[in-house]
Amino acid sequence: MSQMEEYKKDLLSLVEWEPYLMLHSGLPGPRANLTLLYTVVKMGNKEHFQRFLNFQQGNMSGDSPNDFIVMCGVVGLGKLLAQGQAEVLVHLKQYAADSRWRIRESVAMALQIYGEHHMDQLLSEMMLWSSDGLLVQRAVAAALCEPKLLKDKGHAEQLFVILNRLTSSLLVEENRNQEGSLVLKKALGYCWSVAIAAYPTEGKVEFEQWINYDNKDIRWMLKENLSKNRLHKLDMEWVEWCKDKMA
């Protein structure tokens, strides 16, 4: 029996799931129990997810078992969204700006569930989100730059329009001291490489446009992406060419 099947069996025997989820959350600790989380999302319904979202908040670090309950609720919204309940998008956007990083990460996970079933609609919605605050923009980058979602060549153009828009936020001087600036920069430091690996022809051209910018945040973002193994495996000659251009 797989670990997910064991969790499923245990949950089916319980009236209330919350104590069990807290016990097996993996928090506090370096990694939340994502196997359990996805089991809960698969089994849960709107009533479960709403109850989880209303659960007592944990600590501000987002590293408590209480916050694992909220994570299950947030990712559960992605399931509801995929089922056609578009009204949950407004709540996901609110959680994208949450002070707890695990809750923000849960938003990206929820959006990816939506994208697995409705990628065109996800891209359209993320185009709107890409003009929002920095933390919301980070959710856009993290949600879209997931290899399993980037299969259709027809999505490349819209994806890079969004990534360019997000990257432009690093050029806005008043953004530099905001809380979300570092978070967005870190996300862009790997997201471009994921997008380029999925769509090399389009991605290389879009990425190269940023090489001549004399901006330390942009240059950091470029260097981070060029250090990724996925790009080294894709085209090491091109990686070295980019580095030479930057030098």
Note the pLDDT tens digit of each residue in 156-173. Answer: 999 999 999 999 999 998
The rounded distance, in Å, linking the Cα atoms of 119 and 109 is 14
Computed over every residue of the chain, the mean pLDDT equals 96
Q: What is the pLDDT of residues 115-160, one digit of tens each?
A: 999 999 999 999 999 999 999 999 999 999 999 999 999 999 999 9
| 174 close to 224: Cβ distance less than 8 angstroms | no
Report the range of poorest mean pLDDT among 48-52, 107-111, 175-179, 235-239.
Answer: 175-179
Q: What is the pLDDT of residues 15-70, one digit of tens each?
A: 999 999 999 999 999 999 999 999 999 999 999 999 999 987 655 566 799 999 99
Cα dihedral value 126, 127, 133, 139, nearest 10: 30
Amino acid at 65: P
Instruction: Give the rounded percent of residues in the chain with a pLDDT score beyond 90.
Output: 93
Structure confidence at residue 57 (pLDDT): 65
Structure confidence at residue 174 (pLDDT): 87
The rounded distance, in Å, linking the Cα atoms of 210 and 171 is 11
The rounded distance, in Å, linking the Cα atoms of 83 and 46 is 11
User: What is the pLDDT confidence band of residue 178, given thresholds at 50, 70 and 90?
Assistant: confident
What DSSP line would sit under 152-180, residue for residue? -GGGHHHHHHHHHHHHHGGG-GGGTTSHH
Structure confidence at residue 76 (pLDDT): 98
Burial of 110 (0-12, 13-18, 19+ CB in 10 A): buried
Q: For 100-112, what is the mean pLDDT?
A: 97
Q: For 172-196, what is the mean pLDDT?
A: 93
